[in-house]
Structure 1
Amino acid sequence: MGLLDWVRGSKEPTPQKRAPVQIGPSFNSMADTSLEEYLLGQTVGSRTVTADNAMKISAVWRCVSLISGNVATLPLDLKRRVGETRVDADDHDLWTILRRKPNRWQTPAEFRRMLQMSVLLRGNGYAYKVTSGKKIIELIPLNADNVEVKQERDLSLTYTVTLPSGQRTILKQDKMLHLRGMTFDGIVGLPVITYAQEAMGLAASTEQHAGALFRNGTRAGGVIKHPGSLGEEGQVALRESLDYYRSGAALEGRDLILEEGMDYQRLSMTSVDAQFIQTRVQSLAEIAMYFGVPLHMVGLNDKASSWGTGIEQMGIGFVTYTMQDWLTMWEQAIARDLIDESEPDLYARFNNAALLKGDTKSRYEAYAIGRNSGFLSANDIRALEDMDPIEGGDTYLEPLNMTPLGEQPTTADAPTQD
């Protein structure tokens, strides 16, 4: 069964379930790293970092959902250059694929979110192009773990895809939409979790340790002192009494009844406890740094930030320094893989104005500057606010107190004085 048969829904016997593919450096890179380094690099703090269990770390979940959510929800426009103007290419087949229905079961937002998550966690995102002639009918997302990329002698790329049936099929470059993150060789992208595995492994290990600590109660909250020697039966009775008081939330905070002159002394937080909390916070901050997300967006509001002095400025910094990189990756991959070379005037563009909008007052002040300066019309502003155009709204104002450099103002149209 080929890939096209699988896409069309051909029936085949259910194969044996394949073992999950370990995310990390591939064995193609064994020439420049030893097997010992490869194996040791995957296990940190007794935890193996994979794309699946990395998402159980709160900072990873937040960073991935934040970036992929922005890619999914931003408007993606298909434009065409016509002379000096740019118009919507809503008559093109690709318009429906990108904005309406990429395939039979996904919305455009779901499709883009899935591929962006794949790029963030696995370094690459793949979608198979179902075509009829030069027309693209569907984009079928593929699991990046099941795709191998190879560069041929003519420098073109071929993709070996393992289907759910276990069969392997080879696709040429013109059948694939390939999104890749940072890359050393220009062929495959680098997964963030491969290089952030120390921080992620530490975060997972400290979280696991904290869970076991609270679940098993291994840290003593206080010490009970007995003036003499407590017998074996007394120890059992005391332990049962303490377990009773710790057995339910309804009994929390009640006073202990101590007999035989016993005294209770609460233990304060030690320097080891404080260091443990600091380690957890530091590991989450490092994860946010790997993904390029401001610390306040992952809940670390007490950390100093170089993104700006206010929440709005830090948000603009996130759009400029992080999101713009991923949006450019999408736009250029669409131009390379989905737009035919015979249509050089066609291009895709994300409208990131929604991410850069400030509060209502600041936004309207910016519109007023554009309107009074003559480069925005009333309908331009209404379009940015998703409002219908008005009659006569395409007129641009010309400031009377501005003239080209070196040109003397004329008095032909100056008002006369009676």
Structure 2
Amino acid sequence: MATAIRHASLGTSAGLPVTPDTAMRVAAVYACVRLISGAVANLPMDVKRRVDENTREDMSGSDLWSVLRRKPNGWQTPSQFKRMLQAHVLLRGNAYAQIVRSRGRVVALNPLNPDRMDVSQNDALELKYTYQRRDGRRVVMSADEVMHLVGLTLDGITGVSAITYARETIGLSMAQERHGSTTFKNSARPSAVLKHPGQIGPEALANLRASLDAYRSGGDREGQALILEEGMDLSPISMTSEDAQWIESRKFSRTDIAMFFGVPPHMIGDTEKSTSWGSGIEQQSIGFVTYTLEDHLTTWEETANRDLVSADDVFVRFNRKALVRGDIKTRWDAYVKALQWGVYSPDMVLALEDENPRSDGKGGVFYDPPNTSGGKEGRADEPKETPPD
């Protein structure tokens, strides 16, 4: 194993090396990583116990619940911890956290730099984790000491990063960024040929080049006319950025990067295509939750249940109801249906909205489903009809 931090520096046809750090300087990559990591970070993780086949008990206040919901370690909040590890998965393909136990109970999760970790498997199929600390010392840990989140994997041991396979697209985007910066630094003026009827000396040529560079650098000279002396003539010979469809090529790169991360283009600001408007955006957002975000949530849940939970009747699960916290219409439509069909009581709905129970004490009533036989007979809150004379 290398004795220094390993950065996957991958050369590209565009001539620029791509690493997780340089890739984050590309706007589309940063937006995709921020979007997915933020969604995972904002969803709370619940710890529950399976009482029987149909009953689940909330284990809020347990040691593991406190680690996942209150304080994963001595310096991070739960959202910081989850956002960091999810970013590691997206950019490196793996995320690691040291599991700190006391008397068999998980009391802390310390994140580890994935560039300092080396994973190997022996003939007995046991995993060994060798971590290089900041002082250069190597620490060997067993599988039960490490929480290991694995992204897309080809060997079943470590994950592969999207940066590895998207490096050509990201490298092209980086080259386009550099080209655009250089172009606008020179006031977006095209290259040109200056024609002189005679011949000028080296000193005059140097002065001419200096004056042209100062003119092209923009600033106070922006918009002023170029004055040519001694009968010189200027002839542009190169295409502008628009003529070369530079902006259009950047759009293609942005869409390709979003595809690698499984993010709908409109979620990173690419909403120019007509098919992305109206119901198209809604369906793409649903697809993002179903096919991209759910994949990462399942990885977290299964890893936590494997590495952090020792009892067979205890499990960790994300509270996916928080996904609709920003959509009040969808949230309350679901509440109304749950009340109508007797799934929730009013007090349960109030609890989900962080509100106190009803003050009249009638919030614990479960309403009978509509259009069922004898539905109104069991309703204690409705008056019974008086038979006719």
Is TM more than 0.5 here?
yes
Distance 1:293 1:305, change over 3 A: farther
Q: Residue type of the partner of 1:367?
A: Y
Superposed displacement of residue 239, structure 1: 6.5
Superposed displacement of residue 167, structure 1: 2.0
SS in 2 for 1:43: coil
* Worse-superposed segment, 392-401 or 357-366: 357-366
CA deviations on 1:261-306 (whole Å, 9 max, x unpaired) are 9898999966974433222211111111010111012121113667
- Pick aligned residue for 1:377 from 341, 345, 349: 345
Q: Residue type of the partner of 1:392?
A: K
- Pick aligned residue for 2:315 from 344, 347, 350: 347
The CA RMSD measured in Å over matched residues stands at 3.2
Q: How many residues align?
A: 374
Q: Would you say 1:139 and 2:109 are equivalent positions?
A: yes
Residue 61 of structure 1 corresponds to 30
Query: 2 CA distance for matches of 1:74 and 1:392?
Result: 31
1:123/1:191 contact within 8 Å kept: yes
Superposed displacement of residue 370, structure 1: 2.2
Query: 2 CA distance for matches of 1:193 and 1:241?
Result: 43
Query: 2 CA distance for matches of 1:53 and 1:20?
Result: 15
1:374/1:399 contact within 8 Å kept: yes
2:241/2:247 contact within 8 Å kept: no
Distance 1:305 1:161, change over 3 A: farther
* Worse-superposed segment, 285-294 or 142-151: 142-151
Superposed displacement of residue 235, structure 1: 7.8
TM-score, normalised with respect to structure 1: 0.78
Query: 2 CA distance for matches of 1:290 and 1:304?
Result: 22
1:111/1:141 contact within 8 Å kept: yes
Distance 1:347 1:307, change over 3 A: farther
Residue 151 of structure 2 corresponds to 181
Superposed displacement of residue 258, structure 1: 7.2
SS in 1 for 2:197: coil
Superposed displacement of residue 238, structure 1: 7.2
1:79/1:348 contact within 8 Å kept: yes
2:187/2:222 contact within 8 Å kept: no
Query: 1 CA distance for matches of 2:193 and 2:122?
Result: 70
Query: 2 CA distance for matches of 1:247 and 1:192?
Result: 38
Residue 68 of structure 2 corresponds to 98
Alignment of 1:284-299 (within 5 A): 284-299=254-269
SS in 2 for 1:47: coil
Superposed displacement of residue 169, structure 1: 2.2
Residue 87 of structure 1 corresponds to 57
Query: 2 CA distance for matches of 1:269 and 1:415?
Result: 89
Query: 2 CA distance for matches of 1:268 and 1:392?
Result: 78
Q: Residue type of the partner of 2:339?
A: R
Superposed displacement of residue 240, structure 1: 6.6
Alignment of 1:135-214 (within 5 A): 135-214=105-184
Percent identity of the aligned residues?
A: 47
Residue 328 of structure 2 corresponds to 360
* Worse-superposed segment, 272-281 or 257-266: 257-266
Query: 1 CA distance for matches of 2:150 and 2:59?
Result: 26
Query: 2 CA distance for matches of 1:204 and 1:266?
Result: 27
CA deviations on 1:372-418 (whole Å, 9 max, x unpaired) are 222222122223322223232121111353239xxxxxxxx665234
Query: 2 CA distance for matches of 1:179 and 1:338?
Result: 12
Distance 1:168 1:245, change over 3 A: closer
Alignment of 1:316-327 (within 5 A): 316-327=286-297
1:47/1:204 contact within 8 Å kept: yes
Distance 1:396 1:264, change over 3 A: farther
Q: Would you say 1:50 and 2:19 are equivalent positions?
A: yes
SS in 1 for 2:245: helix
* Worse-superposed segment, 159-168 or 191-200: 159-168
Residue 6 of structure 1 corresponds to none
Query: 2 CA distance for matches of 1:61 and 1:103?
Result: 26
1:294/1:305 contact within 8 Å kept: no
Distance 1:277 1:247, change over 3 A: closer
Distance 1:209 1:338, change over 3 A: same
Superposed displacement of residue 72, structure 1: 1.2
Q: Would you say 1:22 and 2:36 are equivalent positions?
A: no
2:118/2:131 contact within 8 Å kept: yes
2:190/2:239 contact within 8 Å kept: no
Query: 1 CA distance for matches of 2:373 and 2:319?
Result: 33
Distance 1:82 1:188, change over 3 A: same
Distance 1:231 1:143, change over 3 A: same
2:73/2:110 contact within 8 Å kept: yes
CA deviations on 1:303-324 (whole Å, 9 max, x unpaired) are 3667982444432221122111
- After the TM superposition, which segments of 4 or more aligned residues of structure 1 sit over 4 Å from their partners? 216-219, 221-224, 230-248, 254-272, 304-308
* Worse-superposed segment, 120-129 or 71-80: 71-80
TM-score, normalised with respect to structure 2: 0.84
* Worse-superposed segment, 243-252 or 321-330: 243-252
Distance 1:18 1:207, change over 3 A: farther
Q: Residue type of the partner of 1:72?
A: A
Superposed displacement of residue 334, structure 1: 0.4
Residue 35 of structure 1 corresponds to none
1:60/1:288 contact within 8 Å kept: yes
Q: Residue type of the partner of 1:21?
A: R
